[in-house]
Structure 1
Amino acid sequence: MQKNISDRIRKSKKCHALRQDLLDQLRAAGIDTAVNRDLVEDYISLWVIKQWVMIDIRTRGPVIAYNNGGGQSGTKENPSIAYQLKLSSQMLKILKQLGLSGEGAAGGDAFDGL
């Protein structure tokens, strides 16, 4: 099931538009090399993971219940929030390394168009 959802995210219109926009920016800047195209694919992979993380945050919320089985239970921050911040930071680093802009690229949720 997870692979199916990942495939749907990768095949979404938003993912395709994002990849195409970044590749177009590479061409326009005259830096369309194999190494830079590989970095774009790394960016897309992080974007797909970020979609999963955002689904988890929407599904479980920002605060989740826990029970460690030792009699301790309570609530804690959803760890996906920290993952989302780390993913966003790494994605921005890739854009910066390429000298590209995220503006105009498809953002948001891959499931908007599904």
Structure 2
Amino acid sequence: MGKSKISILREAILSDLTDQLDRNGTTGQYYSDLVKDYMKLWDTKNRLILDIELRGVTVESVTSAGTNLKKNDSVDQLIKLNAQMLKLLDSLGIKPAQSDGDTDDEM
């Protein structure tokens, strides 16, 4: 059985991060550990996104007063997690690659 798309993407991101550290001359176990932390956050981010896709941005909450809608806590957690991931990349000295502006990516 082949690897899932998410598994392939995870491996590609891990490889990219490691390659960027090598190109920047950033070496050592400390930085390797930070990359592992980043990937754990990446895994958690994907689980939060899946939860939001499955349950939506609001969820039913059953209390003694009845059933109400409340915000899905995964939304706030996703925002906080993304901020932490960006801080980790900054600590690693990894910046977005500069493109030549000649891409077909959608916004």
Give the alignment's TM-score, normalised by structure 2: 0.82
- Determine whether 1:97 maps to 2:68: no
Shift of 1:103: 4.8
Percent of residue pairs bearing the same amino acid type: 34
CA distance in 2, matches of 1:93, 1:61: 27
Distance in 1 (alpha carbons) for counterparts of 2:37 and 2:96: 15
Bigger-Rg structure (1/2): 2
Displacement, 1:32?
A: 2.0
- Describe the SS at the equivalent of 1:14: helix
* Aligned position for 2:9: 14
* Structure 2 equivalent of residue 77 of structure 1: 71
Specify the alignment match of 2:51 in structure 1: 56
Give the match for residue 88 of structure 1.
82
Runs of 4+ in 1 over 4 A off after TM superposition: none
* Structure 2 unaligned regions, length at least 5: 99-107
| Residue type of the alignment partner of 2:84 | Q
Shift of 1:37: 0.7
Contact 1:95–1:102 (8 Å) recurs in 2: no
Output the aligned Cα RMSD: 1.8
Give the Cα–Cα distance (whole angstroms) in 1 for the partners of residues 70 and 48 of structure 2: 16
TM-score (norm 1): 0.77
Gap regions ≥5 residues in structure 1: 1-7, 105-114
Cα separation, 2, equivalents of 1:96 and 1:90: 10
The answer to whether structure 1 residue 25 and structure 2 residue 16 are counterparts is no
How many equivalent residue pairs? 95
Distance 2:96 2:71 in 1: 28
Alignment partner, residue 111 of structure 1: none
Higher relative contact order (CA 8 A, sep 6+): 1
- Secondary structure of the residue that 2:78 maps to in structure 1? helix
